[in-house]
Structure 1
Amino acid sequence: MAVRTRRYSARDMTVLVIGLGVAVIVNLGLIWAPTLASIGLSGTDWNGIGPIEWVGGQNYHDLSAEYPPFWSAVRNNLLWLGFLGLVATPFGLFCAVLLDRRLRLSRVYQSALYMPVVLSLAVVGFIAQLVYSSDYGVLNAVTGLTVDWLGDSSVNIWVVMVAAAWRHVGYVMIIYLAGLKAVDPALKEAAAIDGANERQSFFRVVFPTLRPVNVIVLVITVIEALRAFDIVYAINKGRNGLELLSVLVTENIVGEASRIGFGSAIAVILLAISLGFIVTYLSQLFREER
């Protein structure tokens, strides 16, 4: 029996071209064009008004040698990434596994855990001030302590990461919960028949099937950690121990002393760090699948 191939009419091709064309143009205009512009501007000295002066790698040299906030920001971003990846993400997976067992009032728990996700990090920052403030904070009032949680540069990054993780856990939980719902129950039954306990069944049977979900969670975690800006800016404008690369980019590009080339160099480094994590993991994943 001959297989009929569908022929697209001129109208279908027009709709297809317009639909793809708009998406490609928007993607190029809003993502790739600013990215390439930042890479080019990172080698210049420009205040946004005067002539552009090419300085090559001078901005990167000044960042590493003559700009102390830079290394503090790099450390804080890596701490942020490590905390979300090693603490918040596993806890979100743990919550998803518990809710997948259809506990009593699981819908209530799921809603409570997911509720912070609907809040922006700026709102989470204001909530963190209500909790951690040394003057009117709930934590000091309940415990009787007098710790300046947000003003002490040795502890404020940790308490802010806890606040950010509060939101991240719900996001990860709902993604893993959707992945667990899609796992074939026959796999668990076969593992149980083979004598595997619940722990062995999860790590040897269920978790390997969640590999596509793990990729999504990894990308989300890296993006969340490296683009963090709202919460620290809402607390103290990203200063006194809360320096982040995103804050330094904003301060140098749209701050009082506009240094667009210098800020673009920080943005390029932020891009390189994020791509480094994502590309390394994806390359290993694709190599294993081959």
Structure 2
Amino acid sequence: MTDDRPAAGRGSRKARRFTRRDLLVLGLLLGLPLLLDVLVVWGPTLASVVLSFTSWDGIGDISWVGTENYANLFTNYPAFWPAVRHNLLWLAFLGLVAAPFGLLLAVLIDRGVRFSRFYQSTLYMPVVLSLAVVGFIAQLVFSRDQGALNALLGNTEHPTDWLGDPDLNLWMVLLAAVWRHTGYVMILYLAGLKAVDQTLKEAAAIDGASETQAFFRVVLPTLRPVNVIVGIITVIESLRAFDIVYAINKGRNGLEVLSVLVTDNIIGEASRIGFGSAIAVVLLLVSLGFVATYLIQELRGESKR
């Protein structure tokens, strides 16, 4: 007897060919986002790199000046190095305060405390607010005359100018930024903790490890992918800080950061697009340097495992 049924694996099923309509839909779905990405992200980025070597006020002719903008930036622009210091301080504060505190909150909530859903929602709520809104809230809290902090401390007769004093305002703004960033870090680590294999914890407990030892020796190493994400987000958040300081005092009097300098030079009263583009390129290189270094270290750590 012969088997008339088509044998599997003998090409009985023909490969489906894409029709012209399928190709058109794929082209739209892939082409439009790619086009928007080029126009909105990569186009302005490359344009900024080119303009950083020119002198242009946005109206007249563009003149090529080479590395003159960078030389003036590093030597003859007094606001540059304080802004760099403030951005690095921002990075250190978010990395050493907000990230560990977010991890601590995630661990506490992961243990199944009562009202955990309420805590998650409450602590994550600041994340849905833009940094500009956080800046306005900071003004309500730290204002000299009608601020909630002075009223709470009883400093109504001799109020402290939390946002006007250049020795204090940066720290107050950093507290507001930490308040927002902690909830984001908490949610990321909480998702990572939910994915940890419980058998690893049980094996550590059987071996006699305490909860603290099990966390640092078993749980935390498994959170390496989350650590990478948290590290990258922390670097990006610290280097792109703009909205909150601009909402408070337009990034002046002790709140200077690199992104504010870019805005002041490009769309300020004395428009210096070439010089502002040079600051933007420096900010781009610094952010890429941090991200690339962190990723290389994490990838090397993964390859050694």
- Partner in structure 2 of residue 215 of structure 1: 228
- Partner in structure 2 of residue 9 of structure 1: 18
Larger Rg: 2
Q: Does the alignment pair 1:37 with 2:47?
A: yes
Q: Report the Cα distance in structure 2 between the residues aligned to 1:89 and 1:210, rounded to whole angstroms.
A: 13
- Partner in structure 1 of residue 267 of structure 2: 254
User: SS state of the match for residue 177, structure 2?
Assistant: helix
User: SS state of the match for residue 68, structure 1?
Assistant: coil
* Displacement of 1:15: 2.6
- Partner in structure 1 of residue 119 of structure 2: 109
Q: CA RMSD in A?
A: 1.4
What is the total number of aligned residue pairs between the two structures? Answer: 290
- Partner in structure 2 of residue 49 of structure 1: 59
Query: Structure 2 counterpart of 1:2, which letter?
Result: G
Q: Report the Cα distance in structure 1 between the residues aligned to 2:257 and 2:176, rounded to whole angstroms.
A: 16
Q: Report the Cα distance in structure 2 between the residues aligned to 1:157 and 1:257, rounded to whole angstroms.
A: 26
* Displacement of 1:107: 1.3
Query: Structure 2 counterpart of 1:23, which letter?
Result: P
User: SS state of the match for residue 93, structure 2?
Assistant: helix
| CA distance 1:150–1:5, change in 2 (3 Å) | farther
Q: Report the Cα distance in structure 1 between the residues aligned to 2:70 and 2:57, rounded to whole angstroms.
A: 17
- Partner in structure 1 of residue 87 of structure 2: 77
Query: Structure 2 counterpart of 1:63, which letter?
Result: L
Q: Does the alignment pair 1:140 with 2:147?
A: no
Q: Does the alignment pair 1:289 with 2:302?
A: yes
User: SS state of the match for residue 147, structure 1?
Assistant: coil
Higher mean C-alpha deviation, range 216-225 or range 46-55: 216-225
* Displacement of 1:113: 0.5
Q: Report the Cα distance in structure 2 between the residues aligned to 1:265 and 1:277, rounded to whole angstroms.
A: 19
* Displacement of 1:87: 0.6
Deviations 1:193-238 (A, max 9, x none): 1111111111111111111111111111111111111110111110
Deviations 1:53-94 (A, max 9, x none): 111111111111111111111000000011001111110011
Deviations 1:126-178 (A, max 9, x none): 11111111111111111123221111111111110000110000111111111
- Partner in structure 2 of residue 229 of structure 1: 242
Unaligned stretches of 5+ residues in structure 2:
1-7
Q: Report the Cα distance in structure 2 between the residues aligned to 1:283 and 1:6, rounded to whole angstroms.
A: 41
* Displacement of 1:17: 3.0
Q: Percent identity?
A: 68
* Displacement of 1:16: 2.5
Deviations 1:244-266 (A, max 9, x none): 10101011111111110010000
- The TM-score normalised by the length of structure 2 is 0.92
- Partner in structure 1 of residue 172 of structure 2: 159
- The TM-score normalised by the length of structure 1 is 0.96
Q: 1:195 aligns with which of 180, 183, 208?
A: 208
Stretches of 4+ aligned residues off by more than 3 angstroms: 3-8, 11-14
Q: Does the alignment pair 1:118 with 2:131?
A: no
Higher mean C-alpha deviation, range 19-28 or range 108-117: 19-28
* Displacement of 1:13: 3.5
* Displacement of 1:185: 1.2
